[in-house]
């Protein structure tokens, strides 16, 4: 049996639909207008909706009363995905768009969007690092964010496509070139690192993961993923040096763990979809005016002097990042981890910036 630590309400961000009684057939039909403090219509567009992350992510978004309109976009097959999801008896509407033969698809799907989530691109395969994805995914993100700049320049943009440490700076540079850049509105979705950390700590300490909150700062690749074990909620969870070392290593290499386990058939898709949905719901709540929405994400930042982007704790508001709350008090070991990540992060950021400059 798992022991329950005092609740930190970590799963408050992930409420795809209101709680319903498991003992009967009361499914969450018709609850959208009763959710939260505002009836604000929220249109979410998923770019790359037919892929391994895009499909389960779209399913989770369809289930949520926080999402009023769901637009699904991919090169092909999206009409079928949208038709399938549209049969689910929740109140959000779903529309699919394919870019293969429709040059107006991006314009039509993005116009009016409040939130754009980008899982498009190729997944990591065995033996590949996130940087190996760069040559393909950099172009994908550049082109899709260019469309966002044209058709929904004020939307909140969540980037999933790896390597996030480079693709988020690419998104920023593209918006700058279009003269619509707002650093508060572009997010690298690193939520999967937090989801994994909560899970692994709960497994190690025989706790309910819903009661755990592990901050993760830095970036979203290898040693740039920095779990802040000293700030775990609830407080009082302790680790031996050996436990902490093994835990940090597993968190940093968790993506590789999944890639190897799938033996060439893909990377982390289902857990990434869950994490991205949780983050998207937080954005929806903020847009609807709900206060005290906190997330960790890789954003434009001055928290670390030498870096233009860094992942840390954020207060999210209607216009995106309302306040960057920084890293808190780090231990000597945690600060060493930050210092050791600086070079990799700087190189990744510069790589993204240079890519846009050369292709402009």
Reported as type and span, the H/E element at residue 310 is strand 309-317
- Work out whether strand 293-300 and strand 309-317 pair parallel, antiparallel, or are unpaired: antiparallel
Answer whether 158's CB lies under 8 Å from 283's CB: yes
d(CA 324, CA 187): 12
10 Å CB burial of residue 177 (0-12, 13-18, 19+) is middle
**Could you tell me which residues come within 8 angstroms of residue 181 by beta carbon, excluding any fewer than 6 positions away?**
172, 175
Q: Is the dihedral of CA 183, 219, 324, 233 positive or negative?
A: positive
Residues at the binding site are 48-54, 74, 124, 130, 137, 160-162, 196, 272
Residues at the binding site for NAD(+) are 48-54, 74, 137, 160-162, 272
Q: Which of 114, 220, 249, 309 is catalytic?
A: 220
Question: What is the torsion angle, in degrees rounded to the nearest 10, for the CA atoms of residue 287, residue 277, residue 299 and residue 352?
Answer: -130
Answer whether 271's CB lies under 8 Å from 258's CB: yes
Residues at the binding site for substrate are 124, 130, 162, 196
Active site residue 249: no
d(CA 287, CA 343): 35
Partnered with residue 46 across adjacent β-strands are 72, 117
Q: How many Cβ atoms are within 10 Å of 116's Cβ, its own excluded? A: 27
The token pair that represents 180 in the structure block: 């619509």
| Residues catalogued as catalytic | 220
């Amino acid at each position: 049996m798992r022991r329950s630590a005092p609740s930190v309400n970590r799963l408050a961000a992930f409420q795809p639909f209101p709680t319903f009684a498991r003992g009967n057939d009361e499914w969450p039909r018709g609850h959208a207008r009763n959710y939260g403090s505002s009836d604000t219509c929220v249109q979410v567009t998923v770019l790359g909706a037919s892929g391994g992350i895009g499909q389960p992510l779209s399913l989770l978004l369809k289930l949520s009363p926080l999402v009023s309109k769901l637009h699904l976009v991919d090169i092909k097959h999206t009409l079928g995905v949208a038709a399938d999801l549209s049969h689910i008896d929740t109140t959000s509407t779903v529309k699919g768009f394919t870019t293969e033969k429709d040059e107006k698809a991006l314009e039509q799907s993005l116009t009016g969007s409040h939130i754009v989530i980008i899982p498009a691109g190729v997944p990591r395969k065995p033996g590949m690092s996130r940087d190996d994805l760069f040559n393909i995914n950099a172009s994908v993100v550049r082109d899709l964010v260019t469309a966002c700049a044209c058709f929904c320049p004020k939307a909140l943009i969540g980037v999933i496509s790896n390597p996030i440490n480079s693709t988020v700076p690419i998104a920023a540079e593209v918006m700058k070139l279009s003269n619509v850049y707002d650093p508060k509105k572009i997010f690298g979705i690193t939520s999967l690192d937090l989801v994994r950390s909560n899970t692994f700590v709960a497994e190690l300490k025989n706790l309910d993961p819903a009661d755990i909150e592990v901050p993760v700062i830095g970036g979203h690749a290898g040693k740039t993923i920095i779990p802040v074990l000293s700030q775990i909620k609830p407080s009082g969870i302790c680790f031996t040096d050996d436990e902490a070392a093994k835990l940090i290593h597993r968190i940093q290499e968790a993506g590789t763990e999944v890639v190897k386990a799938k033996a060439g058939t893909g990377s982390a898709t289902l857990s990434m979809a869950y994490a991205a949905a949780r983050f998207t719901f937080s954005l929806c709540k903020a847009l609807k005016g709900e206060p005290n929405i906190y997330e960790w994400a890789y954003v434009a930042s001055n928290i670390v002097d030498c870096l233009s982007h860094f992942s840390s704790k954020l207060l999210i508001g209607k216009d995106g990042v309302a306040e960057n709350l920084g890293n808190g008090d780090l231990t000597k070991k945690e600060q060493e981890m930050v210092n050791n990540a600086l070079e990799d992060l700087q190189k990744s950021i510069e790589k993204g910036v240079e890519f846009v400059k050369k292709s402009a």
